[in-house]
Amino acid sequence: TGINFMTTYIEFLGTTDYYLAMGLKIFVAILVGTLVGIDREKKFKSAGVKTNILICLGAALYTAISLEMQNLVGHTDPTRIAAQIVSGIGFLGGGSIIQSKGQVQGLTTAATIWVIAAIGAVIGFGLVFSALFFGITVLVVLKFIDPIINLQEKVKLKRNYQIHIQSVGSISDFIRKILDFHKSEYIQFEEFTHPQHETLVYLEVKIKCYPSDFEKIIQDINFHMLVDKINYRRLEKSHI
């Protein structure tokens, strides 16, 4: 047919050996997925390293296939598969959004899934250096937006809060990790079981933290599948 299937386009490198180009695309997809996934796992989010790697790899693969099909068949639009990635990833992102105990959670995770798929598509089209730039941008947003917001909170005083948690089984270690992650100060931390139901556990926690951190603490606690009920309130100094 006269078509050369052994080369493909890579940003800044031009026409490149096909297998070298595919190896570079796979490497960049794994790199971006890993970096973003590590950040999400550190924040106890559902879409971690493996999920982000697979999403980025999958989007890159679908896009790369569409380009090769254009070379093979001709008169095809490679953006059609990319468009299907956009709509298809919506179902995956939608699955990460849950309404639990009066709160909607997972919006940032869903948005991260959506943008990681977009980066994967960019990689599939051969724009690997642009994909790296966008991956770094995503990391900057995930890592540094919250600290910037928290800087505004620093001018405010820390508040005292009381949290009552009812769970099916002990989750004290999980709660301690969340409180330590948000640098909360412990005032009280007591756990006891129901006298008639040993699997029913109550946890009473009093902490001191910034208001913005407390909102994130409640969201993270709500995310745990063993949490049955949670009540919380702000304490005045007389109640400490």
For residues 189 and 205, the answer to whether their CB atoms sit within 8 Å is yes
| Measured distance between the N- and C-terminal CA atoms of the chain, rounded to whole angstroms | 81
SS in 3 state form for 216-239?
A: HHHHHHHHCCCEEEEEEEEECHHH
Task: Give the pLDDT confidence score for residue 162 in this predicted structure.
Answer: 93
Q: What token pair was written down for 66?
A: 């569409």
Q: Please, are residues 153 and 183 in contact by the beta-carbon 8 Å criterion?
A: no
**What is the model's pLDDT at position 42?**
87
Pairing of strands 227-235, 159-168: antiparallel
The predicted pLDDT at position 3 comes to 46
Strand extents, DSSP E, 74-184: 98-100, 103-105, 159-168
**Residue ranges in the chain modelled with pLDDT below 50:** 1-3, 238, 240
